[in-house]
Amino acid sequence: MIVAETIADVKKYVKEWKKNGETIGLVPTMGYLHEGHASLIKKAREQNDRVVVSDFVNPTQFGPNEDLEQYPRDFEADKKLCAGLGADLIFHPTPEEMYGKDHFTKVHVDTLTAGLCGAVRPVHFDGVCTVVTKLFHIAEADRAYFGQKDAQQLAVVKRMVHDLNYNIEIVGCPIVREADGLAKSSRNTYLSPEERKAAVILSASLKEGKKAIDAGEKDLKIITDIITKKLETEPLAKIDYVSAVDFNLLQPKDRLDGEETLIAIAVYIGKTREIDNIIVR
């Protein structure tokens, strides 16, 4: 497996692969890889001749007082995981390599970024869209792989690709969970043992909502109230939001219909902000 630290090195290998007619799958990550990331790499390996994994904690998607400096990092473990899954190249640049001395351009997606996590993290999705755009150009990927756990991110990137006519397919992959239901996340490492037990309330509350849906409930106010009441049974949980939106434009909706509906939650467990969701019709 190739370890590349510069944009020029990535472009050099991509040029060779493209010359040979090979397809490229890109897995953008912020490192500290876990089974969720592994599922994306495996999918990319199945669908492409070459797999590029970016391993970059992107500073532009962190706001003031967020956890940029504390965000977990373990590049040696990341390399081992990527090599074991058959990735061809891992791209591990510095912020200076990605953005240079002067960087004046950003990519902004309107409407879809106004609610959910975007409401409390106003710079986050501009940072995501900007770095993802750069990675698309650097890797010249045919496909890029994103996890459903970050459902708003997935919807925003899909819309950006559609609106700006990128020549790339965005592949969404299912949430990977711990045995007790907690969605895999690099930030789970922040949780104390007591908080880790409490965090299961996120998936448990979504299960309650899904149970109501399976029983025929279509009123999303009733469904989100069920989820909220379940979350409120956990003393360590502080709700940020419980929202039901259409999965296309991420706008609020009242009832389930034939279109995909995203039911998303964000909850503080202690000081750690955890997110989870289900997508239903």
Cα 39 from Cα 16, distance rounded (Å): 27
Q: Residue 65's pLDDT is what? A: 87
Distances (CA, A) of 246 to 98, 112, 267: 34, 10, 20
Mind listing the pLDDT tens digit for each residue in 230-258?
A: 999 999 999 999 999 999 999 999 999 99
Structure tokens at 216: 């025929």
Q: Residue 242's pLDDT is what? A: 98
DSSP state of 90: E
Q: Residue 281's pLDDT is what? A: 83
CATH topology of domain 2-173: Rossmann fold (3.40.50)
Distances (CA, A) of 186 to 66, 71, 127, 132: 15, 8, 19, 19
> Which sequence positions are flagged as catalytic?
37
Neighbours of 66 (CB within 10 A): 15
Q: What integer is the mean pLDDT of 130-134?
A: 98
Q: What integer is the mean pLDDT of 75-85?
A: 98
* pLDDT score of 124 more than 90: yes
pTM, entire model? 0.96
Q: Which of 252, 279, 236 is nearest to 116 (CA)?
A: 252
- Domain boundary assignment for the chain: 2-173, 186-276
Cα 227 from Cα 182, distance rounded (Å): 15
| CA end-to-end distance (rounded Å), the chain | 41
Mind listing the pLDDT tens digit for each residue in 4-63?
A: 999 999 999 999 999 999 999 999 999 999 999 999 999 999 999 999 999 999 999 999
Q: What CATH superfamily classification does 186-276 receive?
A: Pantoate-beta-alanine ligase, C-terminal domain (3.30.1300.10)
Confidence of residue 107 (pLDDT cuts 50, 70, 90): very high
For the chain, what is the mean pLDDT?
97
Q: Residue 38's pLDDT is what? A: 98
Q: Residue 66's pLDDT is what? A: 94
Q: What integer is the mean pLDDT of 193-212?
A: 98
| Residue 1 · residue 28 · CB < 8 Å | no
Query: Residue 204: enclosing H or E segment and its boundaries?
Result: helix 201-214
SS3 string, 157-186, reads HHHHHHHCCCCCEEEEECCCECCCCCECCH
Q: Residue 259's pLDDT is what? A: 95
Structure tokens at 250: 């991420």
Q: Which of 247, 251, 212 is nearest to 230 (CA)?
A: 212
Q: Residue 137's pLDDT is what? A: 98
Confidence of residue 2 (pLDDT cuts 50, 70, 90): very high
Q: Residue 222's pLDDT is what? A: 98
Structure tokens at 11: 């472009």
